Amino acid sequence: MPSFPFRFGVNEFTTQPWTFEQDIENYRALGVDSIEICEAKLDPNRIDEQMRMVQGSGLHISAVQPKIRTFFASRMAPEPKPTEARIEALTHSLKTLAPYAPGAPFVINTGAPTADDMADGNMHAIMDQTITHLRNLCPLAADLGVTLALEPLNPTSMNIETAIWTVDQAMDIIDAVNHPAMGLCLDFWNIWQEDDIEAQIARAAEKITVLQVSDWRTPRSTMDRLIPGDGHIPLGHLLHATADAGFTGTCTVEIFSSNVPDSLYKKDPHELIRQSRAALERAWNDTH
The CATH number of the domain where 117 resides is what? 3.20.20.150
Residue 279, Cβ neighbours under 10 Å: how many?
Answer: 18
Residues in the chain: 288
The answer to whether residue 136 sits within a structural domain is yes
The answer to whether residue 242 sits within a structural domain is yes
The answer to whether residue 141 sits within a structural domain is yes
Number of domain units in the chain: 1
- The answer to pTM > 0.95 is yes
The answer to whether residue 11 sits within a structural domain is yes
Decide: helix, strand or coil at residue 182: strand
The answer to whether residue 192 sits within a structural domain is yes
Rounded CA Rg of the chain? 18
The answer to whether residue 80 sits within a structural domain is yes
Decide: helix, strand or coil at residue 61: strand
Which residues have CB under 8 Å from 226's CB, separation 6+?
Answer: 214, 215, 216, 217, 255, 264
The answer to whether residue 2 sits within a structural domain is no
The answer to whether residue 1 sits within a structural domain is no
pLDDT tens per residue across all 288 residues of the chain: 469 999 999 999 999 999 999 999 999 999 999 999 999 999 999 999 999 999 999 999 999 999 999 999 899 999 999 999 999 999 999 999 999 999 999 999 999 987 555 556 788 999 999 999 999 999 999 999 999 999 999 999 988 899 999 999 999 999 999 999 999 999 999 999 999 999 999 999 999 999 999 999 999 999 999 999 999 999 999 999 999 999 999 999 999 999 999 999 999 999 999 999 999 999 999 997
Which of 6, 2, 11 has the alpha carbon at shortest distance from 248? Answer: 6
Q: Output phi, psi for 132, to 5 deg.
A: -60, -45
Question: Which range of residues forms the domain containing residue 254?
Answer: 7-285
**How far, in Å, CA of 198 to CA of 207, rounded?**
15
